[in-house]
Amino acid sequence: MTNRRPRLIATEEAFATPELLAAMRELGPGPDRMLEMGGIWGRLRDNAPSALMDALLDLGEGRLAAMDAAGIDMHLLSLTSPGVQLLDAATATEVAARSNDRLAAAVARHPTRFAGLAAVAPQDPAGAAAEIERAMRTLRLNGVVINSHTDGEYLDQPGFEPILAAAEAFGAAIYLHPRRPPAIFDAVMANDVMDLSAGMWGFAAETSLHAVRLIMSGAFDRHPGLRLVLGHMGEGLPFWLYRLDYMYHVDRRLRGRTRPERPPSDYFRTNIAITTSGMNHLPALEYCIAVLGTENLMFAIDYPYQETGEAAAFIRSARLSEAERDRIFFANAERIFHIAPATA
């Protein structure tokens, strides 16, 4: 051990590229689509100024200054939600590749400050699988980000199998990031009076659904090496582990359920990691440590959507042993995302 301040890696930090902005602008007036991420895409379409969009586009000095001000050593960058997942398959595949090139260049410029998750286009599963290989082998990126559903479809569905297989084969953890739930949710989540479909509720409700679908489909039995990462303190699922297991055993006894092979909670030990993004709440952190331990728990901010200073102060205020702190601050991220350890 050294006496140096432990390095702090933030693992769910968003950026955007000009290619993505241009493609989103061309999508046209579809109002539902432009509501993604609190309406920033609508402002983009209207050419309205957006400090948020400026922060997303900055892969240089402005971002580094925000990190330095709060003692953040590294951003693990990911193309902001919904990424390329609203675009047609060919455009999405192209924009993902160009954004990944841009990401790799930023990491090359600042290798101790940035790492990156590749964007892929699930609309073209074979193309996405090829991009995962290119991102991990050629671009030396650190994993993959997928913004939950694609056109209302989920990664446990058979068509997406090449993506899961490639992620497993090339050691690319899939960071399952939220986006606006499919339009069918609007009937119960979004109307003229209130819209619960974004960060307040819909993101976590739909992303946790996606993760449970993956677990219950046996995805981690088919792909034992597959790693899934959930933000927002596990999108609520750590609180549900007892009940997921209870109902799993009921299903096995009464209905002969055969998948998954192990109780759902067990996959949080072997295949699923969580991050603190956007959940700067000590009781929730302490609860997650109590039920999950600290081997699969990582720090994240959700830059620029949430406050860097608050997130840094939150994690530094947690009562952690030195070993727990090192795992949460940097060691788990280094292991799960293949990030090179800091040199002394």
Summarize as ranges the residues that interact with Mn ion (CB under 5 A). Answer: 12, 302
State the DSSP H helix or E strand holding residue 119, giving kind and residue range, or none if neither.
strand 114-119
Minimum CB distance to Mn ion smaller for 36 or for 302: 302
Closest approach of Mn ion to the CB of residue 199, in Å:
9
| Pick 168 or 302: Cβ nearer Mn ion | 302
DSSP H/E element including 317: helix 308-317
Q: Which helix (H) or strand (E) holds 297?
A: strand 297-298
In single-letter form, the type of residue at position 21 comes to: L
Of the two residues 13 and 124, which places its CB atom closer to Mn ion in the complex? 13
Q: Which residue is nearest to Mn ion (CB)?
A: 302
Could you give the C-alpha distances from 14 to 3, 88, 308, in angstroms and in order?
31, 22, 12
CA dihedral 167, 40, 274, 130 (to 10 degrees): 0
Compute the C-alpha angle 146/326/6, nearest 5°: 105
8-state DSSP, 160? G
- The phi-psi region of residue 243 (left if phi > 0; otherwise alpha if psi is between -120 and 50; otherwise beta) is alpha
Residues serving a catalytic function are 302
Q: How far is the CB of 104 from Mn ion (least distance, A)?
A: 21
Work out whether the CA dihedral 330, 281, 314, 309 comes out positive or negative: positive
Q: What is the chain's alpha carbon radius of gyration, rounded to the nearest angstrom?
A: 19
**Minimum gap (Å) between residue 76 Cβ and Mn ion:** 11
Residue 82: CB minimum distance to Mn ion, A = 11
Which residues lie closer than 8 Å to 38 by C-beta, 6 or more apart?
Answer: 198, 199
Specify the residue, 127 or 278, whose C-beta has the smaller distance to Mn ion: 278
How many CB atoms sit inside 10 A of residue 227's CB?
23
What is the residue-wise DSSP string for 163-232? Answer: HHHHHHHTT--EEE---PPPGGGHHHHBSSS-B-TTTTTHHHHHHHHHHHHHHHTTHHHH-TT--EEE-H
* Apex 112 CA angle, 110 and 114, nearest 5: 60
For residues 230 and 272, is the Cβ–Cβ distance under 8 A?
A: yes
